[in-house]
Structure 1
Amino acid sequence: MADDALAERRTLDGRLIERLERPALAVELGLEPHPEGGWYRRTWTSPATVAVGGATRPAATLILFLLPTGEASGWHRVSSSEIWIASGVGPVALQLGGEGDEPEPGETIVVGDAGEGHAPQAVVPPGAWQRTLPADHDALVSCLVSPGFDFADFTMPDVDGRTP
């Protein structure tokens, strides 16, 4: 196996979570492992900026997010609004967990092909807990965050960002 076929998933502070093989679609799209699970790459950053808590941020950012078969993301929250947008490769089950101190499993929204009865988009309010659930297929979505995403505004309840 070529070295570029391997990747390292790390915590926000850089500790190694796991070494893993890059899925073919992650290689094709140039995606990297996300600390929460799944694979991602920022594809756009707004040239407009906004002030957020004394810092300057892009008005919005956009990523591609891949969940390979059987993979999920752990409970996490972002202090900005997040919009999940179907990108044509399998639906993804997005579970919301409220806005309390700890996530409480709640509504699940399946983001995917509207022609198959799925939501083509889903909005996660600022500060709401969210996670994705495993599926028997690959799923690809785009996620738009406004104000723009910054790991400083990203919270995960456990050390490696994933719930067992």
Structure 2
Amino acid sequence: MRSERNAGYWIEKLNLAEHPEGGCFAPVFRASEQIGREGLPDRFTGNRPIVSSIYYLLEKGQFSAFHRLKSVEIWSFFEGDPLTIHVLDPLGDLIEKKLGPNFNKGESFQVAIEAGNWFAAEQRGPGQFTLVGCTVAPGFEYEDVEIAGRAKLLARYPQHQEIIEKLTR
């Protein structure tokens, strides 16, 4: 049974579609309850769902391009190969977070990304895909994401040129 659980299996079973930052996704949950604008930080322009989540899949050679959100995002490992999530923090440091099942290799089942940090993800390992879940709080709205321009990131983080050129479009 496990041999049929390749990327194509999950794309079909979960009805995944192309994602703007790379890979493919499907919405899973979007809370009906809202947080009012007055209860949110100033960076938000209106009400937001309390939380939202998606399935997200990267196939071998694909990556999630550098982007940032106005919300916190928690990545949860489900199946396939590990991922490395590259985070550029406000101090200019590059932090590599490993998402996967191999705790003895520094991986974790969950990785949290703070709001406002630039981050990108790439599949690691010999396999063909990685399936994860991404949970966003306050809930995701397209106006709350910014996909990085290569020139903008290079101007801000010139010391990380190699990874920026690799994981931007």
- Paired position in structure 2 for 1:62: 53
Query: Is the CA contact 1:87–1:140 (under 8 Å) kept in the aligned structure 2?
Result: yes
Larger Rg: 2
- Please say which of residues 145-154 and 129-138 is displaced more in the overlay: 129-138
Given the alignment, which residue of 85, 91, 96 partners 1:108? 96
Offset of residue 105 of structure 1: 6.7
Letter in 2 for 1:122: V
- Paired position in structure 2 for 1:37: 22
TM-align CA RMSD: 2.1
Task: Using the aligned pairs only, state the percent identity.
Answer: 25
Q: Report the Cα distance in structure 1 between the residues aligned to 2:55 and 2:104, rounded to whole angstroms.
A: 22
TM-score normalized by structure 1? 0.75
Residue 11 of structure 2 aligns to a residue in which SS? helix
Offset of residue 120 of structure 1: 0.9
Query: Is the CA contact 2:89–2:95 (under 8 Å) kept in the aligned structure 1?
Result: no
- Paired position in structure 1 for 2:117: 128
Q: Report the Cα distance in structure 1 between the residues aligned to 2:76 and 2:112, rounded to whole angstroms.
A: 9
Q: Deviations over 1:101-123 (max 9, x none)?
A: xxx57111111115554111111
Q: Report the Cα distance in structure 2 between the residues aligned to 1:47 and 1:60, rounded to whole angstroms.
A: 9
Point out where structure 2 has 5 or more consecutive residues left out of the alignment.
1-6, 38-43, 151-166
- Paired position in structure 1 for 2:108: 119
Q: Report the Cα distance in structure 2 between the residues aligned to 1:116 and 1:31, rounded to whole angstroms.
A: 31
- Paired position in structure 1 for 2:90: 99
| Cα 1:105–1:26 shift into 2, 3 Å | farther
- Paired position in structure 1 for 2:139: 148
Please state which structure has a larger fraction of its residues in helix. Answer: 2
Residue 163, structure 1, aligned to residue 168, structure 2: yes
- Please say which of residues 26-35 and 78-87 is displaced more in the overlay: 26-35
Query: Is the CA contact 1:91–1:140 (under 8 Å) kept in the aligned structure 2?
Result: no
Q: Report the Cα distance in structure 2 between the residues aligned to 1:115 and 1:60, rounded to whole angstroms.
A: 28
Point out where structure 1 has 5 or more consecutive residues left out of the alignment.
1-22
Q: Between Structure 1 and Structure 2, how many residues are aligned? A: 137
Q: Report the Cα distance in structure 2 between the residues aligned to 1:29 and 1:75, rounded to whole angstroms.
A: 25
